[in-house]
Amino acid sequence: MIVGRIAGAFGATGEVKVDLETDNPERFAVGSRLFLKGTPVTVERARESGPERLVVKLSGVDDREHAKELQGVALEVPEDEVPPLPPGSYYRFQILGLETWSDKGAYLGAVEDIFPTGSNDVLVIRAPGRPDLLVPNTTDLTEIDLDAHRLTVRVVPGLLPEGGVSREKE
């Protein structure tokens, strides 16, 4: 599960700017173990650097050049270290990639991104050859079935583009 993404180098000693992708900044506490390109690293120090951003020193990243090479790379934790959520709540990694179908049986695409808006998240659903669909992730519009790796969207007027979408998965 991705908990942050390296935004760039900070200073000359290998520190990196990290954009948080977790609600639990304690994942970056000193001594925490993260994975960088599949390799375990340890947080040596961390401090806030603005909203949703930290400056972090990771073990094995000891100079600016190495830190610059890591721009855009995700920092992860194993999924088995993620605490369970209450029923009806989901982690981002659980929703990304879900196949999406309308309640009428039309294939809509796959969830490619999630935008938080304050009141509810908006799911970006992408299928080849069609503009992205933006669907509010609300209990009255969406139903998530993780076991089936499927998201079902209740179609309401104005949600889909004029002419609808393909009924088959391409």
What are the average pLDDT values for consecutive 10-residue runs of the chain, which has 170 residues? 94 96 89 95 95 95 97 93 85 91 92 88 92 92 94 88 61
Q: What is the pLDDT of residue 163?
A: 58
End position of a domain, from candidates 20, 45, 80 = 80
End position of a domain, from candidates 25, 51, 80 = 80
User: Tokens 């938080």 label which residue?
Assistant: 116
Structural domain range at position 44 = 2-80
For residue 48, the domain's CATH number is 2.40.30.60
Q: What is the pLDDT of residue 166?
A: 57
- For residues 157 and 107, the answer to whether their CB atoms sit within 8 Å is no
Do residue 75 and residue 37 come from a single domain? yes
For the chain, what is the radius of gyration of the CA atoms? 19
Do residue 60 and residue 11 come from a single domain? yes
| CA distances in angstroms from 140 to 1, 114, 154, listed in the order given | 27, 18, 8
- The span from the CA of 67 to the CA of 11, in Å, is 9
Q: What is the pLDDT of residue 50?
A: 86
Measured in whole angstroms, how far is the alpha carbon of residue 47 from the centre of its chain?
22
33: phi then psi, degrees, rounded to nearest 5 = -100, 125
Tell me, yes or no, if the pTM score tops 0.85: no
